[in-house]
Structure 1
Amino acid sequence: MKIYDEKHIKNVVLFGAHNSGKTTLAETMLFEAGLINRRGTVEAKNTVSDYHDIEHEKENSIFATPLHTEWRNYKINIIDTPGLDDYIGEIISSIRVADTIVTVLNGQYGVEVGTEIIWNYIKGYHKPTVFVINQIDHPGLNFESSFNSVKSLVGNGAVKIQYPLIKDGAQCIIDVLKMKMYKFSSEGGKPEKFPIPEDQQSTALALHNELVEKAAENDEELMELFFEKGTLNEDEMRKGIRAGMLNYDLFPVFCTSALNDMGSGRLMGFIDNVAPAAIDLKPEISVEGKEISPKRADSPVLFVFKTVHQPNLGQVTFFKVKRGEVKVNDKLVNSRNGETEVLNQLFIMDGKERNPIQKLVVGDIGATLKLKHTETNDTLAASEEGITIKPINYPQPRIKRAVAAVNTKDEEKLSEALKKIHSQDPTVDISFSNESRQLILSCQGELHLATIDWLLKNIYGVEASFEKPKIAFRETIQRSSASNYRHKKQSGGSGQFAEVHLKIEPWEENMPEPEGFNIRGKEEIDLPWGGKLVFYNCIVGGVIDQRYLPSVMKGIIEVMEEGPLTGSYIRDVRAMVYDGKMHSVDSNDISFKIAGAHAFKKAFLDADPKLLEPALDLTLKVPEEMVGNVMTELQSRRSIIQGIESADHYQVLKCVAPETELFGFSTELRSLTKGRATFSTSFNGYQPVPANIQDQLTTKELVQ
């Protein structure tokens, strides 16, 4: 396979809503370049990029798939991404290594909900972006509306390079950069070139002049030329367009019919000649603050952006060469763990096809097999480097489920499968809750969860159940209470005896010391589950030996580990042990631990015990016209709205919401807003459970 230099490698990511035609466009680009002999279709389940069984079954992209094509002495690496935001991890990891984003729009609908949602995630990357209005030969095409939706999304930087036209019954595209008309046969393919028809001259010229002005605005030298000549030639315009794309000020708009092979060649020509390459982008700054310039002569630095586990191959690691060049059998060090990896094989991947290659240069994207110590987001570099590429920041999960193997014999198998799924998709989070003794799976939504379930069944052979996770409640008290307990047991020989008198009170930060006690000692314990136990030794006259007090405290902590109300942890209590009795022969540590536990439990139940529930800070971004319905839903879930701010055409709602009320919220929010709203959560603290809900929970003796 030909080795291209860094000036002739372009990396593009195809991004767009579900059914916009990304996979079909990728297939057509490969066909136009002659890399495949026939074009597959999503319906026929034979496209290069959608090759997984689950993609065939669902008839949509689920995984981001790297491909490549070669066009007029340029290599174009293409990553075809899913169109649903449940798979945002696949999209973001691809955007991270792109030089240019190609946003594909269905010409009937323009910027759809899916496009808008994902755009809100990726616009922070400020990557050069081209928009492609697809399906221009569809009877329902609304090109002007689609273009206006692009302008609504990105502003006045959206500029037409092309627009569609029907001329003499044939599909045509007017190109205002080249000032040509491309006329296609019904089979598509290579078009005929014509001058712009007379009835389109004024429209095309006006768009051409607008493009000239926008190109000139991004380069001082071009601006001077523009003022001097009143126009720019095609090469000068290309330079200005590239500068505008790099400045994130100019968004060229093309049109295609990917299905019928119209316009893809011109799009690839623009990617070759105008779209920025990796060496045109600003140098990255590493975690250590070092500049990583894309120079081929320097030592190699690779960034791992994707990991795939294939049953017949093992781990496939995808990377972008950020600096230097890498060859087969090179040894590189993982900056995260210091482990040395040997790149025994290098590949260019086209879907499931592996094309062996001997080396890859800066800016290129490739893959290798069976790295032992490397995962997504890792940096591989020469041993002396000490360079770490800034990692991909993935969005937090939106739904959680408790997951378990249906057959308990498969628990270990399930754990290993979930580790591989997380390795392949870092937006899937796996954790074990010691408190609920549940394995918790967190992901992006119901579709994402269904995909995970499919992978477990069909790839890893594990049947799993998914349930609502138990909520981590806490228990505390609202008033003081005193109690005592005598533990006495005689069964021949030495017996057990201990008597403990104590008082408990709610604990608060900076509260005064307890009154009416002769405090001999104090111990503050920061509890592992949050909150405190403050333990006071108030024993007078030696009625309980000092050596038994730690056992009393252990008994109290044992009760606090499994509260009397719901079995939840107890927090924020102070206990004063002020009296008791012991026996010279029968008293021992275990006796005082038992007596302390029982005395504390009795006092706790008499101290107006209160259940606390975890509360989350909930931030929502909601379209203005949908705020009312969302606020009603939030209030029905006992959420407290603390503020509303405006952001573009959205309202940002900031709330505090009980975690127990947010089960199913992601799905309901998607339904209410047609998928246009997004939200994030973070832990706020614990708040009292309303009395009626506490009664339900304690009556059932169940925490849900």
Structure 2
Amino acid sequence: MPEFDTAHVKNIVLLGHAGSGKTTLSECMLYEAGLISRRGSVEEQNTTADYHPLEQERGNSLFSKLLHTRWRGYKINILDTPGYNDFVGEVLAALRVADTGVMLLNASQGVEVGSDIIWEYTEQFKTPMIFAINKLDEDSADYDRTLQEAKEHFGSKICVVQYPRQVGAGFHEIIDVLRMTRYKFKDTGGKPEKLPIPEEEQEKAARLHQELVEAVAANDETLMEHYFDKGELEEDELKEGMKKAMINHELFPLFCLSAQRNMGSGRLMGFIDNVCPSANEMPPQQTTSGEPLPCTADGPPCIFVYKTISEQHVGDLSFFKVFSGTIKSGMELVNESNNVVEKFNQLFLMEGNKRTPVNELVAGDIGATLKLRNTHVNNTLHARGRNINLAPIVFPAPNMTVSIEPANKGDEEKLAQALHQLREEDPTLLVEVSSELKQTLLHCQGDAHLSVARWKMEHNQRVAVKFGKARIPYRETIRKMAEASYRHKKQSGGAGQFGEVHLRIEPWYEGMPEPHGLTVRGREIFELDWGGKLVYYNCIVGGAIDNRFMPSILKGVMEKMHEGPLTGSYVRDVRVCVFDGKMHPVDSNDISFKIAGIMAFKQAFTLADPQLLEPICRVAVLCPDDLTGAVMGELQTRRGVMEGMDAEGAFQKIVAQVPQAELHDFSSALRSITQGRAKFNMQVSGYAPVSFDLQRKLTDAYNSHMTEALA
């Protein structure tokens, strides 16, 4: 039998901007429950959660961690998450398996950008939420301002359960308006003394208690009737009503904390036990086929893998949540993605980097296992004879791209293995071998994300790497009509080669008229993989070129469009009309007309006023109001064109169109000018002509490179 049944397992995820105190709170919770005998600190680099040397070096969480504690008959699984947007994948994975989120707000800083970013994801998952204003013991703490900002950002559904009697260095008392009790802490924190609410606070406490009761009653008709009948609700009624409202995302209780001084964590843990929903009280998971999957211990065994890490000398450690049934050591489950049968030889509870073996895990619990051969993040595994597939985590698109290569020749295979392992552990890192740019590209969320990837490769996989600037995928096109011809003739004994092609090229646009002065005998339209179109006309009359050679000419044109004459970039939006030529009864063949097509197209292209196009990105930056000028100035120095600016709560959203070539180091620049208080996303919105000077510079550089390559 499992130590805890499904109803007594609570899964919470600690959320908030970097520096809000998530890791310190998790340490308090472990200490309060007696799982550790001494509280570690981030400054002393000895917390249970931040065990990774890179986190200890930087003083911030970089990866999500799974911890667990026991509190008054309940098991609480704690998922500690990073606060920087660069590591949003870790947050999303934790949210996917949590049943309640605890959003920490820094009383000195108020609502920060990181909290706003995370809130968007909690809205997507409809995660029941608790808010906790932390660091109320700091001199610059401002509870009222932080509460007001929270309501502005996250809505009026926030309901005060606790407020501090004092803030700053003297903070040591919390008024709880759910229990109508005052908690008084010693300077060292820990278990508080429960006292009556002082007379001068009774009016405020009564008003907030009434607001809480009315908010709970408003979300439950039965409770509303009880409230009208009695004018009050019992504490148990309030707890049950709060649970229902939290599940429906209609109410978000707010608590007070000083995690650093261990004040308020015990009361928060009690609320998690008594009020926050267990997995079996949440709406059932929906499979991708639309079937509900109730979270019951006697259901069909089914797990979802949300995270994978690689441990040296151990192998891959897969983290999963049991969404149905009971998982036991030695059990075999089928991976729905590839039909591979995986055997669970070992099951573990996790405490940071410490593993505790267990024999079974019940529905609703979270654990880990080692050495699953063909299982990855987002995979569903289930009992034989079933077809259960749970919805995957949708990770955000990357915001930064760099080229990557090994620092030492001969390490290409090691680099490939290292990149594969990185991708296994972090699905927000994308690896692309670009045939267009002739580079291996690493797509990531930002410079901090990139530095972690470098550290892992150099320390875990022992391969030194070099990052570089990713080449820009320019496009080439033309602005006017031009005609050219080319005769390919080669004689080297025996059958020779002969092919002559006359063609016209024009800039293509939707709805353009048929070619002037030419007889159209055939037309083909090609949607190009890299965007735009090629429209290919057969305008041959009198049999000057046999029809069987037309595909060879097309092949030559298409080959040259893969490597345009200006910079070697892809060519787009061109109409090609082959209208004349010559052939030889013996020497003409496919290769002759292909070469003639290449050269004729190249000559015509250079005569048709060629134009280089560059990718333009739509960049959206969310930043505090006082930083909008600095952010706009930074965008304008990068040839950005402002598109608009809108208020989003206390933040401003700035939207601009910026050439991709100017965004290589934008992530680090934005972090520098805003002290990490802004976030951004970008996506290619289209292509635009580059200036004459820039086109000449890029063309000269390409010609110089080609000359050196041929030398």
| TM-score (normalizing by structure 1) | 0.93
* Aligned CA distance change for structure 1 residues 539 and 123 (closer, same or farther; 3 Å): closer
Structure 1 vs Structure 2 CA RMSD = 2.7
* Aligned CA distance change for structure 1 residues 703 and 101 (closer, same or farther; 3 Å): farther
Counterpart residue type for residue 292 of structure 2: E
Deviation of the 1:297 alpha carbon: 2.0
Where does residue 416 of structure 1 map in the other structure?
417
- SS where residue 260 of structure 1 aligns? coil
Where does residue 389 of structure 2 map in the other structure?
388
* Aligned CA distance change for structure 1 residues 105 and 500 (closer, same or farther; 3 Å): closer
Rounded Cα–Cα distance in structure 1 between residues aligned with 2:577 and 2:158? 71
Where does residue 567 of structure 2 map in the other structure?
566
Deviation of the 1:91 alpha carbon: 1.0
Deviation of the 1:545 alpha carbon: 4.0
Alignment of 1:282-361 (within 5 A): 282-361=283-362
Where does residue 36 of structure 1 map in the other structure?
36
Moved more, 135-144 or 355-364: 135-144
Alignment of 1:168-207 (within 5 A): 171-207=172-208
Q: Is contact 1:611-1:689 (8 Å) kept?
A: yes
Deviation of the 1:16 alpha carbon: 1.7
* Aligned CA distance change for structure 1 residues 628 and 121 (closer, same or farther; 3 Å): farther
Alignment of 1:612-627 (within 5 A): 612-621=613-622
Where does residue 19 of structure 1 map in the other structure?
19
Counterpart residue type for residue 400 of structure 1: T
Rounded Cα–Cα distance in structure 2 between residues aligned with 1:140 and 1:678? 25
* Aligned CA distance change for structure 1 residues 199 and 94 (closer, same or farther; 3 Å): same
Rounded Cα–Cα distance in structure 1 between residues aligned with 2:378 and 2:439? 28
Alignment of 1:446-525 (within 5 A): 446-525=447-526
Deviation of the 1:605 alpha carbon: 0.9
- SS where residue 408 of structure 1 aligns? coil
Rounded Cα–Cα distance in structure 2 between residues aligned with 1:210 and 1:166? 21
Q: Is contact 2:615-2:659 (8 Å) kept?
A: yes
Rounded Cα–Cα distance in structure 2 between residues aligned with 1:580 and 1:292? 68
Rounded Cα–Cα distance in structure 1 between residues aligned with 2:511 and 2:109? 61
Rounded Cα–Cα distance in structure 1 between residues aligned with 2:187 and 2:448? 38
Deviation of the 1:384 alpha carbon: 3.0
Cα deviation digits, residues 209-242 of structure 1 (max 9, x gap)? 3222222222222222222222222212212222
Rounded Cα–Cα distance in structure 2 between residues aligned with 1:395 and 1:281? 25
Count of aligned pairs between the two proteins:
704
Deviation of the 1:529 alpha carbon: 3.1
Q: Is contact 2:149-2:650 (8 Å) kept?
A: no
Alignment of 1:97-136 (within 5 A): 97-136=97-136
* Aligned CA distance change for structure 1 residues 348 and 484 (closer, same or farther; 3 Å): same
Cα deviation digits, residues 139-172 of structure 1 (max 9, x gap)? 4332223322322232332232223336998823
- SS where residue 227 of structure 2 aligns? helix
Where does residue 402 of structure 1 map in the other structure?
403
Cα deviation digits, residues 296-354 of structure 1 (max 9, x gap)? 22112211111111112211111111122211122222222222222121111111111
Rounded Cα–Cα distance in structure 2 between residues aligned with 1:173 and 1:454? 43
Cα deviation digits, residues 281-304 of structure 1 (max 9, x gap)? 122222111112222221122111
Q: Is contact 1:619-1:680 (8 Å) kept?
A: yes
Counterpart residue type for residue 71 of structure 1: W
Moved more, 313-322 or 644-653: 644-653
Counterpart residue type for residue 337 of structure 2: R
Counterpart residue type for residue 600 of structure 1: F
Where does residue 709 of structure 2 map in the other structure?
none
Where does residue 78 of structure 1 map in the other structure?
78
* Aligned CA distance change for structure 1 residues 555 and 243 (closer, same or farther; 3 Å): closer
Rounded Cα–Cα distance in structure 2 between residues aligned with 1:170 and 1:628? 37
Q: Is contact 1:287-1:390 (8 Å) kept?
A: yes
Counterpart residue type for residue 214 of structure 1: A
* Aligned CA distance change for structure 1 residues 677 and 166 (closer, same or farther; 3 Å): closer
Rounded Cα–Cα distance in structure 1 between residues aligned with 2:308 and 2:563? 42
- SS where residue 28 of structure 1 aligns? helix
Rounded Cα–Cα distance in structure 2 between residues aligned with 1:37 and 1:86? 34
Counterpart residue type for residue 124 of structure 1: Q
Where does residue 65 of structure 1 map in the other structure?
65
Deviation of the 1:426 alpha carbon: 1.3
* Aligned CA distance change for structure 1 residues 209 and 529 (closer, same or farther; 3 Å): closer
Moved more, 381-390 or 670-679: 670-679
* Aligned CA distance change for structure 1 residues 497 and 207 (closer, same or farther; 3 Å): closer
Rounded Cα–Cα distance in structure 1 between residues aligned with 2:578 and 2:108? 76
Counterpart residue type for residue 288 of structure 2: V
Q: Does 1:660 align with 2:666?
A: no
Where does residue 157 of structure 1 map in the other structure?
157
Rounded Cα–Cα distance in structure 2 between residues aligned with 1:166 and 1:684? 51
Deviation of the 1:523 alpha carbon: 3.9
* Aligned CA distance change for structure 1 residues 348 and 489 (closer, same or farther; 3 Å): same
Q: Is contact 1:566-1:703 (8 Å) kept?
A: no
- SS where residue 404 of structure 1 aligns? strand
Moved more, 295-304 or 684-693: 684-693
Alignment of 1:372-387 (within 5 A): 372-387=373-388
Moved more, 188-197 or 644-653: 644-653
Where does residue 592 of structure 1 map in the other structure?
593
Where does residue 685 of structure 2 map in the other structure?
684
Q: Is contact 2:528-2:534 (8 Å) kept?
A: yes
Moved more, 585-594 or 463-472: 585-594
Where does residue 260 of structure 1 map in the other structure?
261
Deviation of the 1:635 alpha carbon: 4.9
Deviation of the 1:655 alpha carbon: 5.2
Q: Which structure 2 segments of 5+ residues have no match?
A: 706-711
Rounded Cα–Cα distance in structure 2 between residues aligned with 1:213 and 1:529? 58
Rounded Cα–Cα distance in structure 1 between residues aligned with 2:159 and 2:525? 66
Q: Is contact 2:164-2:171 (8 Å) kept?
A: no
Q: Is contact 1:117-1:676 (8 Å) kept?
A: no
- SS where residue 427 of structure 2 aligns? coil
Where does residue 535 of structure 2 map in the other structure?
534
Where does residue 601 of structure 1 map in the other structure?
602
Cα deviation digits, residues 108-138 of structure 1 (max 9, x gap)? 2332333233323433322121122223333
Rounded Cα–Cα distance in structure 2 between residues aligned with 1:427 and 1:398? 10
Rounded Cα–Cα distance in structure 2 between residues aligned with 1:116 and 1:477? 45
Deviation of the 1:486 alpha carbon: 2.6
Rounded Cα–Cα distance in structure 1 between residues aligned with 2:502 and 2:664? 43
Rounded Cα–Cα distance in structure 2 between residues aligned with 1:527 and 1:172? 68
Q: Is contact 1:116-1:676 (8 Å) kept?
A: no
Where does residue 90 of structure 1 map in the other structure?
90
Cα deviation digits, residues 184-213 of structure 1 (max 9, x gap)? 222222222222233333333333232222
Rounded Cα–Cα distance in structure 2 between residues aligned with 1:602 and 1:627? 49
Deviation of the 1:599 alpha carbon: 2.0
- SS where residue 145 of structure 2 aligns? helix
- SS where residue 336 of structure 1 aligns? coil
- SS where residue 297 of structure 2 aligns? coil
Counterpart residue type for residue 485 of structure 2: N
Where does residue 212 of structure 1 map in the other structure?
213
| TM-score (normalizing by structure 2) | 0.92
* Aligned CA distance change for structure 1 residues 526 and 194 (closer, same or farther; 3 Å): closer
* Aligned CA distance change for structure 1 residues 642 and 85 (closer, same or farther; 3 Å): closer
Deviation of the 1:280 alpha carbon: 1.8
Where does residue 428 of structure 1 map in the other structure?
429
Q: Is contact 2:561-2:571 (8 Å) kept?
A: yes
Counterpart residue type for residue 18 of structure 2: H
Cα deviation digits, residues 66-93 of structure 1 (max 9, x gap)? 0000011000000111121211111111
Counterpart residue type for residue 151 of structure 1: K
Deviation of the 1:649 alpha carbon: 5.0
Rounded Cα–Cα distance in structure 2 between residues aligned with 1:21 and 1:650? 22
Where does residue 446 of structure 2 map in the other structure?
445
Rounded Cα–Cα distance in structure 2 between residues aligned with 1:189 and 1:438? 56
- SS where residue 615 of structure 2 aligns? strand
Rounded Cα–Cα distance in structure 1 between residues aligned with 2:184 and 2:521? 96
Deviation of the 1:676 alpha carbon: 4.9
Counterpart residue type for residue 92 of structure 2: I
* Aligned CA distance change for structure 1 residues 454 and 602 (closer, same or farther; 3 Å): same
Moved more, 252-261 or 417-426: 252-261
Rounded Cα–Cα distance in structure 2 between residues aligned with 1:53 and 1:454? 10
